[in-house]
Homo-oligomer: A and B are copies of this chain.
Amino acid sequence: MKPFIKMDKEELKLVLDNLENEYTKIKEQNLSLNMARGKPDFDQLDVSMNLLDVLNSQSNLVKKMDYRNYGILDGIDEAKALFAEMLDTDNEHLIIYGNSSLNIMFDQVSRGYTHGYLGETPWCKLDKVKFLCPVPGYDRHFAITEHFGIEMIPVPLNEDGPDMDMVEEYVNNDDSVKGIWCVPQYSNPSGFTYSSETVYRFAHLKPAAKDFRIFWDNAYLIHHLYDNHQEHVDNILKACQEANNEDIIFEFCSTSKVTFPGSGVAALATSINNKKDILKHMTVQTIGHDKINQLRHVEYFKNLDGLKKHMTKHANILRPKFEAVLEILENELGGLEIGTWTKPLGGYFISFESLDGCAKEIVAACKEAGAILTDAGATYPYGNDPHDSNIRIAPSYPAMDELTQAAHLFALCVKLVSAKKILES
């Protein structure tokens, strides 16, 4: 088929009639499909079942202390060593938490709001606090800053990272800008990895606000789809050290999409100053996180090599799903000039850009026919996508047959809504 925009009205009307017939037929199937959330599927969860055999009643849990008892606020040394290898840092920069890196991020924002960082004024005492939000981005990040009444400023995310001219302009001049949300490798939802130059420029920011922090959510650090074709974001901790700018960074990661989401281990890496500041707060909040589950993970993986081998099994399950969706998009939408999409090498998402003003209708049409996508707009602060064009596709969770059904339906809805939009214009 030729591009919709190059068809004359009669030709496009005919196409639309056919699409509508097809859509009606699909609706009659009463499908129930879901491509909304970045959840591992059943087979991926099965990959980690042996994690549950690592510790049992015969295990020795008395290491540097009795790990069954209270204590060790910042996590066990063994877990620090594993995360230190993952993040290419050392134990003293790490705090190991419970099961949720999102909860760590929430707590960091909450701490900025209630107590402030390193002696700076708590944000609740300020008239205005702002965060920069590379877009499209992760809805749960935006939900945290919105929850605390923080003004969110969208910054375009390009293939090499956020628009750094804009980031520098804001951060270096506006002392109400206290943070930026980043998913630096295989970004959510675009799958982009920040370039070395981007990381360098982040490390060399000269923030107007002493309590400005980069919230570096390295969620997909080891989540490659291919063995030989991988992207690796530069080490931001080292870059910040070299730039004498250590306190600027909070780096987050977890095993949520490595072992069991909700039953994994999460970590924060930052400067020694920040770590001390955080622990002063944490010592009031809790006596410590689940050391047995930390040990369970360490004994299961042993080291980074073990983690990488494990992640290959995930890749073998995820890769065919990404490829299936991308093939359907290419086959059914290629050349029509009604959408573009990313082809990520890792992470959990494909980002789709429709014609302006079509995303909400596409998602609604999918839903009406039985396929749930992430809400259109969710990838923007306040759910407000100014072009109404971005849609996040999450291929991981559905089984392959459901996934291909959903992808076909999605492609159909893109064509349907785009044809209507062009005819109306």
Residues of A bordering B, CB below 8 Å: 37, 39-40, 42, 45, 48-53, 55-57, 59, 66-71, 98-100, 102-103, 106, 110, 113-115, 122, 124-125, 140, 143-144, 147-148, 256, 260-263, 281, 284-293
Contact = CB atoms under 8 A, between A and B. Distances in A.
Nearest to A55: B52
Given A51-B57, A69-B262, A100-B286, 7 more contacts: A40-B69, A98-B98, A114-B114, A140-B284, A140-B287, A147-B281, A290-B293
Pick the 3 closest A-B CB pairs, nearest first: A49-B57, A263-B292, A70-B261
Given A49-B57, A52-B57, A56-B56, A68 B284 contact: no
Nearest to A147: B284
A420 B51 CA distance: 60
A263 B291 contact: yes
A374 to B, nearest CB: 14
A287 B69 contact: no
Contacts of A114: 110, 113-114, 124, 148
Nearest to A280: B147
Contact of A70 (B53, B125, B262, B286): B262
Contacts of A140: 284, 287
Contact of A57 (B53, B55, B122): B53
27 contacts: A39-B69, A40-B69, A51-B57, A53-B56, A67-B262, A68-B260, A68-B263, A69-B261, A70-B261, A98-B98, A98-B99, A98-B290, A99-B289, A99-B290, A100-B287, A102-B285, A103-B286, A106-B284, A110-B110, A114-B148, A124-B124, A143-B284, A147-B281, A260-B292, A262-B289, A262-B291, A263-B293
A203 to B, nearest CB: 29
A51 B48 CA distance: 20
Contact of A288 (B50, B148, B262): B262
A125 B126 CA distance: 11
A337 to B, nearest CB: 36
Contacts of A287: 100, 102, 140, 261-262
Nearest to A48: B68
